[in-house]
Amino acid sequence: MKNPRFWIVMALLVAGQFWLRPRLGDPRFAPDFILVAFLFLATRSRPATGAAVGFLVGLLSDAVGPTAFGSAALAYTVVGYLAGLATALFVADNALVTGLFVVVAAWLRDLIQVLAGNQLRGDALLWQLFVGSPLAALTTAVLALVVFLVFRGWLGARRTR
């Protein structure tokens, strides 16, 4: 990933997490700019790289909100590894595939993080996994589609095996 424009898009997404996301309403449903940047990076690298970057992103996420330290690191590591493996299945960069991939990855990240954190039980757990997380995943997928369509040339092609 020697393309400097790719890294400009990553920097814009990280800046958007801290500048734009707080202005988009309820933080439970606002798109996750960091997850989008992470997924674009993980799908364009090897599984081990995706897992390593996921671990670092997860640690940073855990450090910011240390209620269940380690759960985000675990979730991002697993999702990063699986995103690196998924590139073998998705040869072409396609908007629909990108959107569906982000929805699944965001929901899986939330599932692992909520279960590993062991903070929710009963109705709160069900609400989070089947209402809150899917809504947040959809808004994150919309963000990913916008970034994908606007910066398609800057992001470069996904790595193929």
> Residue 93 and residue 15: Cα distance in Å, rounded?
25
pLDDT beyond 90 at 77: yes
pLDDT beyond 80 at 43: yes
Both tokens of 107, joined, read 């929901």
- Residue count of the chain, please give it: 161
User: Has domain 4-155 been given CATH number 1.10.1060?
Assistant: no
Of 137 and 65, which is predicted with more confidence?
A: 137
pLDDT beyond 70 at 139: yes
- Residue pair 77/55 in contact (Cβ under 8 Å)? The answer is yes
Residue 37, burial from CB neighbour count under 10 angstroms (0-12, 13-18, 19+): buried
Output the pLDDT for position 64.
Answer: 85
Both tokens of 10, joined, read 């990553």
158 — pLDDT class (breaks 50, 70, 90): low
As a whole number, mean pLDDT of residues 155-159 equals 70
Output the pLDDT for position 66.
Answer: 67
pLDDT beyond 80 at 93: no
pLDDT beyond 60 at 159: no
Average pLDDT, the chain: 89
Which bin fits 31, alpha (ψ -120 to 50), beta or left (φ > 0)? beta
Output the pLDDT for position 160.
Answer: 52
Output the pLDDT for position 88.
Answer: 65
pLDDT beyond 70 at 121: yes
> Residue 106 and residue 89: Cα distance in Å, rounded?
18
61-76 confidence digits (pLDDT tens): 988 876 788 899 999 9
